[in-house]
Amino acid sequence: MRIFSGIQPTGRKHLGNYIGAISQYVDSQDRGDGIFCIVDLHAISVPYDPAELRERLHDTTALLIAAGLDPERCILFRQSDVREHSELTWLLSAVTAHGDLNRMTQFKEKSGRQRELVSAALFFYPVLMAADVLAHRAAEVPVGEDQRQHMELTREIARRFNERFGDGILVEPDYRLPPVGARIMDLQNPTAKMSTTAGADAGRIYVLDEPDRIMKKLKSAVTDSGSGVHRGEGKDGIANLIEILAAVRSSTPDEVEREFEGSGYGDFKLAVAEAVAEYLAPVRERYEDLRPDTDALETILAAGAERARASAEPVLADVRDAMGIGPATGS
């Protein structure tokens, strides 16, 4: 089974990114053939600094490897190195409804925050995402909860293409959400998703945060005026911490509630902080070893791009042929 997913190279990765996406990438290496893409073309859909983009791309590459992605067991590449993705985006635009793009929640949210240009690239973002997945005939895509709508559109684009141009040309992929931690919330505003850009720094835990920073942020996490470590109405903050602890322990929220029945918020926050710090420590330590060697990271990305092109080329050829683009096959 082919498994594909992509990750933005912008910003520092936080706990929500790690639980919702990166940890799924690592686990998927044991279930199928993993293809993982650092999506720098997606990153230019909003204002950005070119030099910082390159730095963040190397940061992300090192972080993924530090987390456990093995370039010998999967394909890890930079999106812009595989031009088949860009061409397939344009071809798929012919079977993508403008109205579907107009309904995308992320476009509405991100364009609403823009103070300058709202780019056509931001509007077209979901088509590029569909091309990323469909270029490799992936059967499964591990994603966070926030990408569910985009994945439904990807499935619709594949269906519409096959109905018009021929059954089985594109694979309609399933998407896989983490069983726990699909949506980690902001520590200071637990009704909003943890984000790299929105909210205060105290509301997010970065994967590379030192243990004392993790401890400070979790001790100051917003809870409520009640008591009892359990989920329920008005207990968004505690529910978020329960979800976090369950995710980093590979347990369930019910098990966490049973363990901390009768405990106070202070003791519970301390337990969450210690567990998160222990969970992230090996990644941070390995990242510090990997990140300085930019040449080695580029070598890994170049090798991955070569393998990714070999995966995408036959799919693009089939799409072009079915759509009547270029000379007919065999002519």
Closest CA to 36 of 66, 11, 61, 10: 61
Domain ranges within the chain, ordered by starting residue: 2-176+293-323, 201-288
233 has pLDDT over 60: yes
257 has pLDDT over 80: yes
User: Given 3-state DSSP classes, what are the helix, strand and coil percentages for the chain, each rounded to the nearest 5?
Assistant: 55, 10, 35
Q: What is the average per-residue pLDDT within 140-162?
A: 88
44 has pLDDT over 80: yes
Dihedrals phi, psi of 45, to nearest 5 degrees: -80, -10
More confident residue, 238 or 330: 238
CATH architecture of 2-176+293-323: 3-Layer(aba) Sandwich (3.40)
Residue 291 CA, chain-centre distance (Å), reads 20
Q: 238 and 230 in contact (C-beta within 8 Å)? A: yes
Q: What is the pLDDT of residue 331?
A: 45
Give the separation between CA 217 and CA 298, rounded to whole angstroms.
Answer: 34
Q: What is the average per-residue pLDDT within 29-38?
A: 91
Decide: residue 262, CB within 10 A, 0-12 exposed, 13-18 middle, 19+ buried: exposed
Residue 149 CA, chain-centre distance (Å), reads 13
Please, what sign has the CA dihedral across residues 27, 31, 34, 36?
negative
- Among the residues of 94-210, which ranges form H helices? 98-102, 105-113, 120-134, 148-165
Q: What is the average per-residue pLDDT within 54-77?
A: 95
Highest mean pLDDT among 58-67, 103-112, 249-258: 58-67
More confident residue, 112 or 141: 141
The pLDDT confidence band at residue 134, using thresholds 50, 70 and 90, is very high
Q: What is the pLDDT of residue 114?
A: 66
Q: What is the average per-residue pLDDT within 85-105?
A: 91
Beta bridge partners of 74: 34
* Structure-block tokens of residue 319: 């799409």
* Structure-block tokens of residue 321: 């042929």
The pLDDT confidence band at residue 157, using thresholds 50, 70 and 90, is very high
Query: Worst-scoring range by mean pLDDT, 174-178, 216-220, 254-258, 300-304?
Result: 174-178
112 has pLDDT over 70: no
Q: What is the average per-residue pLDDT within 63-74?
A: 95
Element (H, E) at 142: strand 140-142
The pLDDT confidence band at residue 330, using thresholds 50, 70 and 90, is low
pLDDT tens sequence across 267-313 = 999 999 999 999 999 999 999 999 999 999 999 999 999 999 999 99
Helices (H) then strands (E): counts for the chain: 14, 5
* Structure-block tokens of residue 243: 């979800």
Q: What is the pLDDT of residue 232?
A: 85
pTM of the predicted protein model: 0.89
pLDDT tens sequence across 176-208 = 887 777 788 999 999 888 887 776 788 999 999
CA distances from 323 to 142, 146, 327, 329 (A): 29, 32, 11, 12
More confident residue, 194 or 76: 76
Q: 16 and 208 in contact (C-beta within 8 Å)? A: no
Mean pLDDT over the full length of the chain:
90
The secondary structure of 144-176 as a DSSP string is -GGGHHHHHHHHHHHHHHHHHH-TTSS---EEE
115 has pLDDT over 90: no
Q: What is the pLDDT of residue 47?
A: 84
Give the separation between CA 291 and CA 143, rounded to whole angstroms.
Answer: 25
Decide: residue 257, CB within 10 A, 0-12 exposed, 13-18 middle, 19+ buried: middle
Q: What is the pLDDT of residue 199?
A: 66
113 has pLDDT over 90: no
Would you call 4 helix, strand, or coil by DSSP? strand
Give the separation between CA 106 and CA 149, rounded to whole angstroms.
Answer: 9
Give the separation between CA 202 and CA 189, rounded to whole angstroms.
Answer: 10
Would you call 38 helix, strand, or coil by DSSP? strand
Would you call 76 helix, strand, or coil by DSSP? strand
Indicate the fold that domain 201-288 takes in CATH: Tyrosyl-Transfer RNA Synthetase (1.10.240)
CA distances from 152 to 5, 148, 174, 217, 292 (A): 15, 6, 9, 35, 39
